[in-house]
Structure 1
Amino acid sequence: MTNPSRSGVVVTGAGGYLGPHVVKALIDRGHDVLAVVRPGSSAATDPRAARVEIDFLSPDFDESTWGSAEAIVHLAWQDGFVHNSPAHLGQLSAHYRFLTAAAAAGCPRIVALGTMHEVGYWEGAIDATTPTSPSSSYGIAKDALRRALPLAVPSATSLAWARAYYIYGDDRRSNSIFRKLLEAADAGKTVFPFTSGKNLYDFIRVEELGRQIAALTDAPDVVGTLNCCSGVPVSLADKVEEFIRDNDLPLSLEYGAFPDRPYDSPGVWGDATVIDEVMARG
C-alpha cells in the first residue's frame, strides 16, 4: 500500500474491463487501493494496489473484512456485456445487501457504476432527471439498484451513481464493435459489414472514464445520479472510421449491409455538466 496513513479505497470488479483503469487513476491521485477480484481470478491488477480475492456478494460476507475504508467504488457486475443474462436480476439483491451493509458499517463515500441502459429509448441528452424505462435485464437491474439505494443508505454516507455511456479503448477486452473490427482484421478480412452508422452516441475512452470515476470518489459533495461521459454526440460511422484509421486496419465499411435497429435511438448522449465541474477541480 502506498500510503499506510490512509484506510484506502476499495474497488470491486478491479479485474474487469473498467476496473484496472479506475485502480490506476485512484493510485495516481495518491490513494491506497484495495483491488477486489473474484476467487480464482487470473486478472492482473496494478502492482501498487493491495489485492484480495473474495466473494463479497456472498450472504455471509463480513463487511469488517476491509476495516474502515475511506470509500468504496463498486464496479463489479457479472455479465455486463450480456444484457439479458439471468445474473442481472438474480444477483440484484446481493449488490443491494453489500452496499447497504457497507454504508451501515460507516463507509463515508460510495460510488456505484451505472449505465445509459437504465434509461432505455431516449432521444437527445440524458441528465439526472431523465425518466427511465429500461428494455433489458441489465438496464432493469441497474435502474432498480439506483432507485433503491438512496432509500436505505444513511445520510452520513455520500452516494454517487455514475452513469456510463459508450465505452471504448482496451478494446480486445471489451465486447464492442471495436473488438469486432480488430478481430476482422486479424482474420484477414478487408470488408466489414455495417449499418448506416448514422446513430449518434456518447463515446468515452475507458482510461478517461477511469479518471472521471477516481475524481468523483474525491468529490463527496457530489451525490445522486450523474453522467460519466464526454457529453459530445458523435456518429457511429465517424467513430468507426476514425478507429480504422488510427489503428491502420485494412478494412472498408460495407454501409447498409445490416439494417439499423428500430429500437436504437437516432441520437443519445450524456449531459456532462456535473462531471466537467468535478474534473475541473483537478
Structure 2
Amino acid sequence: MRILVTGATGFVGRHLVPELLTRGHEVVTASRDARKATSMPWYDKVTPIVFDLLTETSNPTLLPDSLDMAIHLAWPGLPNYKSLFHFEENLPASYFFIKRLVQSGVTRIMVTGTCFEYGMQEGALSEDTPTMPSNPYGLAKDTLRKSLEMLHRYHDFNLQWIRLFYMYGPGQSPNSLLSLLDAAIDNDEPVFNMSGGEQLRDYLPVEEVARRVALLVGHPECTGIINCCSGQPVSVRQLVEQRIAERQSNISLNLGYYPYPEYEPMSFWGVPEKLDQVLKHEP
C-alpha cells in the first residue's frame, strides 16, 4: 500500500516508518523539519514532503496522489498537556486535514489517540470504558475521535483509533523521566530527584508500539478504538529501578522530591483486547 505518515520524524513516527518499509509498503513521509527528516536512516527509501499541519492544512497541492492510507501522528505542542492550544488549534487542523484526505479518496485512516482521553479514571481501562478527559490535550484528542466518527456517517472510510499509553525508548523527549535519569547517570550525579514513584502506569518500548501500529495496517477489520498498551501495571519507581540496573549505576533515588502530577490518576493501565486478538494470530 501507499501510506502517508504525518509526524514521521516524531517519537513514534521515526520507528514506524522502517516497520512499514520492512512490510513492503510504499511510504510518503510528512514532517515540518526538512533537515531533521534528512537525518533519518530511512530518508532515501521514502517520498518526503515538508508539511506543517497548522499552516498548510487547506493547501491541496501538498497532498500526494493515489494514497491508500494515512497514518496521522502529527500533534504539535507536546508534552504541554494543559495548553488550550490543543483544542483551539491542533483539533480543527487535524479534523480538516483528515476530512480533506477522505474527500480526496483515501479510504483508510489511522490516528493516534491518548490514554488521557480517560481522564482521572483509575484501574483497568478497556476500549469500551467511557472517556472523561480532564486536560486540554485529552479533550482535543477525544473530540477529534468523535468528530471523525461523525464524519464517517457522511463519507465511507475505515477508521482505526490507536489509543497510546506510556512509551519509552530512542527519540523520546529529553525532559521525559528516563531521559533525565540517563542524563543524571551520564553526568555521574549521585542522586536522582523524582516523585514518590508509587504511580501505576502502562508502559511499552516505542519500538514495540511502532511494530503493533504497523501490524494493524494489515488488519483493516480491526476498527474503532484500539488500546495500544501492555495491559500490565508497572510502578514508576519499578521502571526507574529497572533502568538503573540496566545501566549498572549506583545512583540513589530521592523519592518524594517532586509532587505527583495533578493531571494524572495514581493508578491506571490499559486493556488491549483488540490488539491481543490480532497478536494471537501473528508469528
Output the TM-score relative to the length of structure 2. 0.90
Q: Which residue of 1 aligns with 2:16?
A: 22
Question: Quick one: distance in 1 between partners of 2:129 and 2:27?
Answer: 33
> What SS is found at the alignment partner of 2:130?
coil
| Residue identity opposite 2:72 in structure 1 | H
Question: Quick one: distance in 1 between partners of 2:261 and 2:57?
Answer: 40
Cα deviation, 1:173-205, whole Å, max 9, x if unaligned, reads 453200110122233311112222121110011
> What SS is found at the alignment partner of 2:208?
helix
Aligned-residue sequence identity (percent) comes to 34
| Residue identity opposite 2:3 in structure 1 | V
Q: Which moved more, 1:57-66 or 1:76-85?
A: 57-66
> What SS is found at the alignment partner of 1:91?
helix
Q: Which moved more, 1:260-269 or 1:200-209?
A: 260-269
Shift of the 194–224 alpha-carbon distance from structure 1 to 2, 3 Å rule, reads same
Question: Quick one: distance in 2 between partners of 1:230 and 1:206?
Answer: 12
Shift of the 186–80 alpha-carbon distance from structure 1 to 2, 3 Å rule, reads same
Map residues 1-282 of structure 1 onto 2, 5 A cutoff: 6=1, 8-38=2-32, 40-43=34-37, 44-45=39-40, 46-47=42-43, 48-57=45-54, 58-62=56-60, 65-89=63-87, 90-153=89-152, 154=154, 156-170=156-170, 173-261=173-261, 264-282=264-282
Question: Quick one: distance in 2 between partners of 1:63 and 1:26?
Answer: 25
CA contact (8 A) 1:120 1:139 kept: yes
CA contact (8 A) 1:227 1:275 kept: yes
Shift of the 21–147 alpha-carbon distance from structure 1 to 2, 3 Å rule, reads same
Question: Quick one: distance in 2 between partners of 1:30 and 1:279?
Answer: 19
Cα deviation, 1:110-144, whole Å, max 9, x if unaligned, reads 11000001111011111222122222211111111
Shift of the 198–52 alpha-carbon distance from structure 1 to 2, 3 Å rule, reads same
Question: Quick one: distance in 2 between partners of 1:141 and 1:114?
Answer: 10
Q: Which moved more, 1:168-177 or 1:20-29?
A: 168-177
Question: Quick one: distance in 1 between partners of 2:64 and 2:262?
Answer: 47
Question: Quick one: distance in 1 between partners of 2:175 and 2:192?
Answer: 16
Cα deviation, 1:40-81, whole Å, max 9, x if unaligned, reads 442433132221112355243217831121110000000121
What do you get for the CA RMSD once the two structures are aligned? 2.0
How far residue 249 of structure 1 moved from its aligned partner, in angstroms, is: 3.3
How far residue 88 of structure 1 moved from its aligned partner, in angstroms, is: 1.2
Q: Which moved more, 1:260-269 or 1:32-41?
A: 260-269
Shift of the 70–63 alpha-carbon distance from structure 1 to 2, 3 Å rule, reads farther
Shift of the 250–35 alpha-carbon distance from structure 1 to 2, 3 Å rule, reads farther
> What SS is found at the alignment partner of 1:9?
strand
| Residue identity opposite 2:132 in structure 1 | S
How far residue 261 of structure 1 moved from its aligned partner, in angstroms, is: 4.3
Shift of the 172–249 alpha-carbon distance from structure 1 to 2, 3 Å rule, reads farther
Aligned length: 276
CA contact (8 A) 2:102 2:155 kept: no
CA contact (8 A) 1:171 1:178 kept: no
How far residue 263 of structure 1 moved from its aligned partner, in angstroms, is: 5.1
Cα deviation, 1:228-256, whole Å, max 9, x if unaligned, reads 11111111111110011112334221223
Q: Which residue of 2 aligns with 1:3?
A: none
How far residue 171 of structure 1 moved from its aligned partner, in angstroms, is: 5.4
| Residue identity opposite 1:83 in structure 2 | Y
| Residue identity opposite 1:51 in structure 2 | P
| Residue identity opposite 1:199 in structure 2 | Q
